[in-house]
Amino acid sequence: MTKPFRFCPSCSSGLPGRGEEGTIVCPNCRRHWYYNPSPATGAVIVRDGRALVCRRAFEPEAGKYDLPGGFLRVGEHPVDGLKREVSEELGLEIDVETSDLVLFATHTYGDDDTWNLSLCFGARLVSGEPTPADDVAEVRWVTLTELDDIELAWAHDREAIERALSTPSGR
Ligand SMILES: [Zn+2]
């Protein structure tokens, strides 16, 4: 379990427990500490009818496969965040636009009460061969059939891959 704040991160006053909907309101400075999912992005990079999947090097879900991508920074557009993450993780430049969104999903991330909001996009490879950074143990290009033989960290990744692979030219 992820422990809720016990002291206000803004003014250091003691805080009550999470209220309805999980929000905590500081009794001193009245600031609201929201309990929301963290936005993250994933790319279904398609080449020759195959999608790129990454084996996770770190927990949570170490050893299982997922889509390249990651958490957004504050103020970052999801498409820009996705391009940045794919570049950092794999050294790849991808072509992706807002209209390439194929799926969004909410799911737990490690702890049962830590939640993500995942946005998955179809994407085209612009240049480069995948060169995994340290948080990626291995990469594979897989067909839908080959997906049956690997264990995905998050079930919705399969649906995102199905949708991206079934769209002509990856769009
Ligand atoms: Zn406070």
Q: Where exactly are the structural domains of the chain?
A: 1-35, 38-170
For ligand 1, the distance from its centroid to the CA atom of residue 9, given in whole angstroms, is 7
Q: What is the pLDDT of residue 171?
A: 47
How many whole angstroms separate alpha carbon 85 and alpha carbon 83? 6
8 Å CB contact between 110 and 155: no
How many whole angstroms separate alpha carbon 67 and alpha carbon 80? 16
Q: Which fold would CATH assign to domain 38-170?
A: Nucleoside Triphosphate Pyrophosphohydrolase (3.90.79)
Q: What is the pLDDT of residue 170?
A: 45
How many whole angstroms separate alpha carbon 66 and alpha carbon 1? 23
For ligand 1, the distance from its centroid to the CA atom of residue 61, given in whole angstroms, is 35
Using CA atoms, how far residue 102 sits from 94, 116, 160, in Å, is 16, 17, 6
| pLDDT tens, the chain, 171 aa long | 677 889 999 999 999 988 878 899 999 999 999 999 999 999 999 998 999 999 999 999 999 999 999 999 999 999 999 999 999 999 999 999 999 999 999 999 988 888 999 999 999 999 889 988 888 889 999 999 999 999 999 999 999 999 999 876 544
pTM of the model: 0.89
Q: Name the 3-class secondary structure at 68.
A: coil
For ligand 1, the distance from its centroid to the CA atom of residue 33, given in whole angstroms, is 9
Q: Name the 3-class secondary structure at 90.
A: helix
- Output phi, psi for 100, to 5 deg: -85, 0
For ligand 1, the distance from its centroid to the CA atom of residue 8, given in whole angstroms, is 5
